[in-house]
Each structure stands twice: as structure tokens, then as C-alpha cells.
Amino acid sequence: MKRLLFLLLAIPVLLISCNKDDDEVSVEDRNRALLGQWEYEAIMTDRAVDLNGDNTSNIDLFNTQELPQCVKDNITTYTEDGPSDKPEYNVTENNLACDDNNPFSFVEEDFWTLTNNNATISFEGREPFRIIELTKNRLKVESDDTFDGQDYIMTITYRKK
């Protein structure tokens, strides 16, 4: 009876003490945690936009037809250093390539650094990403963008590939 009671009490303690893979990454460890390949999980805006010209505006760009499927299929990669000896940021086509691109060809290339006490991913040729959440398997960022003269904030959620 005592053993059964001990087991019943020990199980919740073990479950509570287990770390989840999605635990927040400390600010100091963000540089390392960003490295690798990321795929889109969600793309949202703070105001409705009509990117595809179908006269329907949406704030959800991922689960609607605002962005073509070939864009939603892209892979984002952060590397520690590439041929340039600088940390590189790349967006590549995945299996569904757009605009006569070959699968796995580069869509965007840039260099990145963490700034503002590791709260911002800064780039040389694009708007910075403000980190909202970074876990071992999830990255959520926001960035300022403009379309047809309208400013909006885009929030992108990635999952580690």
C-alpha cells in the first residue's frame, strides 16, 4: 500500500519536473538558438491587406490565399557564418518553387546580427525582426512593412525544421 501511494505521489512530481522542448531560450542563448532551418507556421498582420489583388483583405496571410502556397513553403535559415565569414540569413524555395525558380534556390540572402540586448534580429538589407518569442522549436517575430502605401506590422511564427 505504501509503495502504491509513493508511486501515485511520485508521478505528478516527475511530470512537473520534466522540461518541455519548447522552453523559452534565455536572452544570452538566442544567438545559438536561432541557428538552423525554420518553416512558416503562421503569418499575420495587424490590419487587413489585399496582397493578391482579389478585393478581399485579410490579416491571416498564411491560412488564406493572400500569399501563394509556394511562398508559404519557403525555408528560412540562420547560419553562424557562411562563405563571407558573417552570420547569414537565407530564404530558399522548398519543393514548391515560385516564378520559374528551381526548388531549393535562394529567394533572399542577407547577413544578420542580434541587437538591442538580443531582442532584435537586424539585417543589412531588410527591416529588422523584433523577437516576440524564441523557444527551442518556435520563433515568433514582428516586422514593419508597407504595401500600397499602407503601413502594417507583420507577425511571423516559425517552427524549427
Tens of pLDDT, residues 77-134: 999 987 888 999 999 999 999 988 899 999 999 999 999 999 999 999 999 999 999 9
What confidence tier does 13 reach under pLDDT thresholds 50, 70, 90?
very low
DSSP conformation class of 24? B
Q: What CA–CA distance (Å, rounded) separates 161 from 154? A: 21
Paired residues of 157 in beta bridges: 42, 140
Decide: helix, strand or coil at residue 127: coil
pLDDT in tens, 114-123: 999 999 999 9
pTM of the model: 0.83
What confidence tier does 22 reach under pLDDT thresholds 50, 70, 90?
low
Cα 113 to the center of its chain, rounded Å: 15
- Does the CA dihedral 5-11-16-17 come out positive or negative? positive
Q: Which fold has domain 21-160?
A: Lipocalin (2.40.128)
Q: CB burial class (10 A; 0-12, 13-18, 19+) of residue 105? A: exposed
Q: Are 63 and 97 in contact (CB under 8 A)?
A: no
Question: Both ends of the chain: CA-CA distance in Å?
Answer: 47
* Residue ranges of domains in the chain: 21-160
pLDDT given for residue 99 in this prediction: 86
pLDDT given for residue 100 in this prediction: 87
